[in-house]
Structure 1
Amino acid sequence: MADGDDKQPLVDPRSLAALQARFGPGLRWWALVTVMIGNMAAVMAATTINVAVPAISHVFRLGPQQAQWLATGFMAAMTMSMLATPWLLRRWGYRRSYIAMLVLLGAGGLAGGLSTSVEMLLAMRVVEGLAAGVLQTIPGVVIMRAFAPHEQGRAMGLFGFGTVLAPAIGPSVGGVLIEWFGWRAIFFFVLPFCVVAAELARRCLPHSAPGGEPIDRRAPPPDALSLALLSGTLGALLNGLVDLQGPRPWLGVATVALAVVLMALFVRRQRHVPAPLLPLGLFKHPVFSAAGVVAFVYGAGLFGSTYLLPVFMLVALGLAPSQVGAVLVPAGLALAVVIPLAGRLADRQPVYLAIAAGLGVMALSFVLMIGIGRGSAIGWIVGWAVLGRIGLGFVIPSLNLGAMRGLPPPQIPAGASTVNFLRQLGGAIGVNLVGIMLGWREQAYAALGPDGVLRAFHEVFVLMALLTLAAAIAAWRMRPAGDATAMDSS
Structure 2
Amino acid sequence: MQENLPALQARYGQRYPQWLLAVLMIGSMAMVLASTSINVALPAIMQDFAIGRPLAQWLSTGFLAAMTAGLLLAAWAHARLGARRTAQAGLLLFIFASLLALAAQSAWQLIVLRCIQGLCAGIVQPLAMVLIFRVFAAGGRGMALGVYGLGVMIAPTLGPTIGGYLVDHFGWAAVFWMPLPMCVVAALGGQWLLPSERERNTPFLDIWAFVLLCVALFASLGALAEAQRFAWSAARVWLPSVLGLLGFFGFFVRSRRSLKPLLPLSLWRHGGFRNASWVALTLGMGLYGSTYLIPLYLQTVEGYSAGRAGLLLLPTGILMGGASFLGGWLSDRWSAASLLIAGLLVFALSGAGLGWLEPGASFVVLCFWACVGRVGLGLLLPALSTGSLDILSQEELAQGAGAITFVRQLGGAFGVNLLTFFLEWRHAREGGDAPGEALAFQQSFWLMGAVFALTVLAALGVKATKR
Q: What is the match of residue 445 of structure 2?
A: 461
Offset of 1:413 from its aligned partner?
1.1
The reply on whether 1:293 has 2:282 as its aligned counterpart is: no
For 1:344 and 1:406, the matched residues in 2 are separated by 19
Q: What is the match of residue 162 of structure 1?
A: 151
For 1:378 and 1:62, the matched residues in 2 are separated by 29
For 2:226 and 2:429, the matched residues in 1 are separated by 19
Residues 340-355 of structure 1 aligned to structure 2 (within 5 Å): 340-355=325-340
For 2:104 and 2:24, the matched residues in 1 are separated by 28
The reply on whether 1:216 has 2:199 as its aligned counterpart is: yes
For 1:441 and 1:61, the matched residues in 2 are separated by 23
TM-score normalized with structure 2 length: 0.90
Q: Which moved more, 1:103-112 or 1:311-320?
A: 311-320
The letter for the 1-side match of 2:230 is: P
TM-score normalized with structure 1 length: 0.86
Distance 1:254 1:470, change over 3 A: farther
For 1:238 and 1:345, the matched residues in 2 are separated by 37
The letter for the 1-side match of 2:184 is: V
Q: Which moved more, 1:42-51 or 1:319-328?
A: 319-328
Q: What is the match of residue 32 of structure 2?
A: 43
Offset of 1:56 from its aligned partner?
5.1
For 2:172 and 2:287, the matched residues in 1 are separated by 28
Q: Which protein shows a greater Rg?
A: 1
Q: Tell me, what secondary structure is at the counterpart of 2:318?
A: helix
Residues 442-461 of structure 1 aligned to structure 2 (within 5 Å): 442-446=427-431, 452-461=436-445
Q: What is the match of residue 241 of structure 1?
A: 224
For 2:365 and 2:48, the matched residues in 1 are separated by 40
Q: What is the match of residue 462 of structure 2?
A: 478
State whether residues 285 and 411 of structure 2, in contact with CA within 8 Å, keep that contact through their aligned partners in structure 1: yes
The reply on whether 1:421 has 2:410 as its aligned counterpart is: no
Q: Which moved more, 1:458-467 or 1:388-397?
A: 458-467
State whether residues 68 and 409 of structure 2, in contact with CA within 8 Å, keep that contact through their aligned partners in structure 1: yes
Offset of 1:88 from its aligned partner?
0.7
Distance 1:197 1:321, change over 3 A: closer
Distance 1:453 1:101, change over 3 A: closer
Offset of 1:90 from its aligned partner?
0.9
The letter for the 2-side match of 1:477 is: G
Give the length in aligned residue pairs.
465
For 1:391 and 1:420, the matched residues in 2 are separated by 18
For 1:326 and 1:183, the matched residues in 2 are separated by 17
Distance 1:454 1:168, change over 3 A: closer
For each residue in 1:7-66, what CA deviation from the matched residue of structure 2 results, as whole angstroms up to 9, or x when unmatched? Answer: xxxxx4733332121222322221111111111221222233344455555666656554
State whether residues 150 and 347 of structure 1, in contact with CA within 8 Å, keep that contact through their aligned partners in structure 2: no
> Which 5+ residue runs of structure 1 have no aligned equivalent?
1-11, 209-214, 485-490
Residues 272-421 of structure 1 aligned to structure 2 (within 5 Å): 272-316=257-301, 324-374=309-359, 376-421=361-406
Distance 1:430 1:175, change over 3 A: closer
For 1:36 and 1:106, the matched residues in 2 are separated by 17
Offset of 1:409 from its aligned partner?
1.0
Residues 49-128 of structure 1 aligned to structure 2 (within 5 Å): 49-53=38-42, 65-115=54-104, 121-128=110-117
For each residue in 1:446-480, what CA deviation from the matched residue of structure 2 results, as whole angstroms up to 9, or x when unmatched? Answer: 29x76654444333333212210222221111111
State whether residues 61 and 414 of structure 2, in contact with CA within 8 Å, keep that contact through their aligned partners in structure 1: no
Distance 1:64 1:327, change over 3 A: closer
Offset of 1:382 from its aligned partner?
2.7
Offset of 1:230 from its aligned partner?
0.4
Pairwise CA RMSD of aligned residues? 2.7
Q: What is the match of residue 9 of structure 1?
A: none
> Which 5+ residue runs of structure 2 have no aligned equivalent?
none
Pick the aligned partner of 1:134 from 98, 123, 126. Answer: 123
Offset of 1:85 from its aligned partner?
0.8
